[in-house]
Amino acid sequence: MSKEVEQIINTLCEKLGVAANILVPEMARYNIARLVFLTVVQVILSIVVAAIIVRLVKYCLTSENVDDDERVISVFLTNILPGLVLVFLIVVTILSATDLIGWIASPTASAIKEITRMIK
């Protein structure tokens, strides 16, 4: 498998006119920059959604012109969608951060993994 990957990398580099020793650092810089941006945006969005959930819960619990049954339904409905969005954002943030750590810790392994993923 490593011979195939090496041959594909060399062929790719020849077609692109890039030296093989430049390809991995370039891929690493690109992916690190992309993943840092995505992770930061996802963290910010998670914080915003969490703040919205807190405000909605406070509003629903302190609203005086709503009876108890309506209050329970209101809290339930106003927090399901933002809660699901928050869970999704947290999962995606964890996945992005995991990829980012991989690219920082071992760019060569991550590049090989990326190239073999492209081959399949």
What does R_g of the chain's alpha carbons equal in angstroms? Answer: 23
In a domain, 112, yes or no: no
In a domain, 5, yes or no: no
Query: For residue range 63-80, what is the model confidence (pLDDT) as tens digits?
Result: 666 666 666 666 666 767
| Mean of all residue pLDDT scores within the chain | 82
In a domain, 62, yes or no: yes
Q: Based on the structure, what is the number of domains in the chain?
A: 1
pLDDT at 80: 79
In a domain, 113, yes or no: no
**Residue keyed to tokens 């990398």:** 9
Q: Which domain holds residue 48?
A: 22-107
Is pLDDT above 70 for 84? yes
Is the entire prediction scored with pTM above 0.85?
no
In a domain, 51, yes or no: yes
Question: What average pLDDT does range 75-98 have in this prediction?
Answer: 85
Query: 95 versus 83: which is more confidently predicted?
Result: 95
How far apart are the C-alpha atoms of 109 and 111, rounded to whole Å? 5
Is pLDDT above 70 for 35? yes
In a domain, 1, yes or no: no
Q: Which two tokens stand for residue 61?
A: 């619990």
How far apart are the C-alpha atoms of 47 and 90, rounded to whole Å? 10
